[in-house]
Amino acid sequence: MAISFVVAITLSMIPFIAIVSIIVFLIHAKYNIISGILLFTIIAFVGFMIYPQLFVIWYGDIYYTIGGISALILTFKNLKPDQLPIKTGLKVGIIGAGISSFLISIYQWFFYTILNSFDIIILGINFAYFTPFALILGSIIGYIYGYIKKKQEEDGEQELSLIDM
């Protein structure tokens, strides 16, 4: 019975996820950081909902990595000239990982409450379990991607300056 309820709850979230996904792709040109954070959150949360046992080091690490890289690709596709690459990468990585870990904690707590009993302390324990690793992983991915983009921009400017001479 519990498995069918989990499937029903997961399937009932599909319209919400579809609406958020459409919003992400409609606003990604103008609000690239917000759309990147939303994409990070959607990929990490939906991946964890579908198969929570898939991990390498910590629960959800594969989903955080896939969500972070996808979100950074979308964010840097429309990077504005006044946005610094490393700072933008860190913003998307840390905020996206934080929101994702919060949603995953609520998801886990919701099913704990259904199967056992209401206990708000479990939500705090779940949040304390998922958040530190998610924030570390999100900041590492964001920094590395931002650093790579910064170096690509610097190399591109040097190549252009050599051509102009």
Nearest to 6 by CA among 102, 113, 122, 111: 111
Average pLDDT on 30-52 reads: 87
Residue 165 has pLDDT above 50, yes or no: no
H or E element at residue 99: helix 85-115
Instruction: Find out whether 143 and 93 touch, Cβ atoms under 8 Å.
Output: yes
Q: Pick the residue with more confidence: 49 or 14?
A: 49
pLDDT at 161: 44
pLDDT at 151: 93
Lowest mean pLDDT among 2-6, 87-91, 95-99, 119-123: 2-6
88-119 pLDDT, tens digit each = 999 999 999 999 999 999 888 888 888 888 88
**Strand, coil or helix: 55:** strand
pLDDT at 30: 78
pLDDT at 23: 74
pLDDT at 24: 72
Q: Which residues pair with 55 in a beta bridge?
A: 59
Residue 122 has pLDDT above 80, yes or no: yes
